[in-house]
Amino acid sequence: MAEGMLTFSPDDRYNAFLRTVSPARYGEGRLRGIPVAIKDNISTAGIETTCGSRILSGYVPPYDATVVSLLKKEGAAIVGKTNMDEFGMGSTTENSAFGPTKNPRDETRVPGGSSGGSAAAVAAGLVPLALGTDTGGSIRCPAAFCGIVGLKPTYGRVSRYGLVAYANSLEQIGPMAADVAHANLLMSVIAGHDPKDSTSLDAPYSHTPSMEIRGTRIGIPEEFFGEGVDPRVASVVWDAISLLERKGAEIITCRMPSMAYALAAYYVTCMSEASSNLARYDGVRYGPPADVRKPWHEAFQERRREGFGLEVRRRIMIGTFALSSGYYGKYYAKAQAARRNVREDFGRLFAEVDVIAGPTMPTVAFRFGEKSDPLAMYLSDILTVPANLAGVPAISVPCGKVEGLPVGLQIMGRWMEDERVIDVAYAYEQGANP
Amino acid sequence: MITEKDVEHIGMLADIAILRGELEEFTASFNRILEYFDILDQVTGEEKDGGAAVNVLREDEVVPSLSPQDVLSNAKETEDGFFRAPRVM
């Protein structure tokens, strides 16, 4: 039989899933019958898709995202939608309207975010593969906190068609798995050109990971080990870098001065794009309805107050402010100039080194409630946002523990060199677990 | 310095209502965040266009698309194949 049905009844004690599908249909292909979890901001035909927000509760997409069509074409069983910070806005999954996800490595801690449900589902062994999305670290952060592998591909390498937009110029869908080989397999299924995404690159991904890294030049920017980085995390990551050196890589310390304002540039950009993208939620076409008897603005303002959580409202409003007349030059235009500087820093460094490495996150997983101040939560993204601003590929691979909690090694590569990033991660993983 | 009045005005521009009890916290967090953004004052130059982003548009030709029924399937109020929205006037 070519087709089959998979019963999926996981013990979801960590609240990784917002909903599951059982039995789930599957077909022939490279992923025949393999259960795959999908982050809830990726459209799945016939399966409710909420982005972790009340404003989309009850929304059932009439079409599949391109990545979901590609998974089905290879026989995968789509077994559920995973929890996330509302619209991807958060680094802990505490901003979900449907309750937080717990970290399977320590239930008193967050799984990271915003793809926290996908990371927890993989880390708990509920699924071998999951899709996440990464706007400023939302795949790599939860991968690091939960001790799994997560890749943010080169911008444009994976279609965004059917991904509910938050910050279009920054975000990518990417693979999450327990090890590099599985992340590589999932990447090979979802990458490729899609005419339905105008930013899509014609660059299919077909790669067999290699652990041969002799002669690879690895740049280590000082800024990735600077203020705010837990020295215990830094020490574990340095040990991992030493292992790569023993495997034949050349380690070169360097500087990335644009890191001083990368985080501000990132937040101004994503909030501005969010203020425009999220204007569509008016209760007319989907989600809980606006009161059509009330005047337009009154109905919308009320609908959006009730439907969006605090952090989403905060980001839409600051984004609106940053784009408003009189402030555009101070915030948005400066953020784009800073973004150009980040790209130029990467360009300069990649003339001398093949990849750049450092910690994925400055600390291990936070306790619940630890980052209740929004700015404090934003600051924890400092090491992941540069790759999004520049559109380059970046992976997080587990590289040890601090007091029993996982630490992620981040490897960033040149634009379109996702394969090399995978290879360096694979060389580390195989070297550390012979 | 952003005042509570400014925040109410931004909420109106963004079409998001703010409850009385929320105004103080929103104002405080806006000020902390915007103060952090001041670091961008150190960046020299401006980027006028969209930077590295390039849009590639396809030929304008008819391709298969969703049916009107599918498009309307998530709306709570429809009329004669249209979405029903709150009154503008």
Query: CB A231: neighbour CB atoms within 10 A?
Result: 9
Q: Given the residues A115, A138, A159, A380, select the one marked as catalytic.
A: A138
The reply to whether residue B51 touches residue A336, judged by beta carbons under 8 angstroms, is yes
Cis peptide leading into residue A398 (ω within 30°)? no
At residue B50 the predicted structure's pLDDT band, cuts being 50, 70 and 90, is: low
* Nearest chain B Cα distance for residue A236, angstroms: 30
Q: What is the pLDDT of residue A200?
A: 93
Q: What is the mean pLDDT of residues B9-25?
A: 96
Domain boundaries, chain A: 1-434
Q: What is the pLDDT of residue B58?
A: 78
DSSP characters for A313-342? HHHHHHHHHHHSTTTTIIIIIHHHHHHHHH
Could you tell me how far CA A272 lies from the centroid of its own chain?
A: 19
Pair type for strands A4-6 and A77-82: unpaired
- Domain A1-434 CATH (choose: 3.60.150.10, 3.10.20.310, 3.40.50.620, 3.90.1300.10): 3.90.1300.10
To test the contact with chain B by mutation, choose from A54, A284, A332 the residue with the greatest count of B C-beta atoms within 10 A, namely: A284
Residue A112 tokens, joined: 């990271």
**Nearest to residue A134, comparing CAs of A417, A411, A316, A395?**
A395
Spell out the alpha helix ranges (H) of A149-230: 180-190
ipTM score over 0.90, yes or no: yes
Where residue A233 falls (left for φ over 0; alpha for ψ -120 to 50; beta otherwise) is: alpha
Side-by-side strand order, sheet with A129-134: A17-20, A77-82, A35-39, A129-134, A172-177, A149-152, A394-402, A405-413, A355-359, A217-221, A250-254
With beta carbons less than 8 A apart as the criterion, state whether A112 and A144 touch: yes
**Nearest to residue A85, comparing CAs of A339, A314, A353?**
A314
Q: What is the pLDDT of residues A282-307, one digit of tens each?
A: 999 999 999 989 999 999 999 999 99
A152 flagged as catalytic: no
- Report if pTM > 0.90: yes
Residue A61 tokens, joined: 């997409």
Tell whether the model's pLDDT for residue A410 goes beyond 70: yes
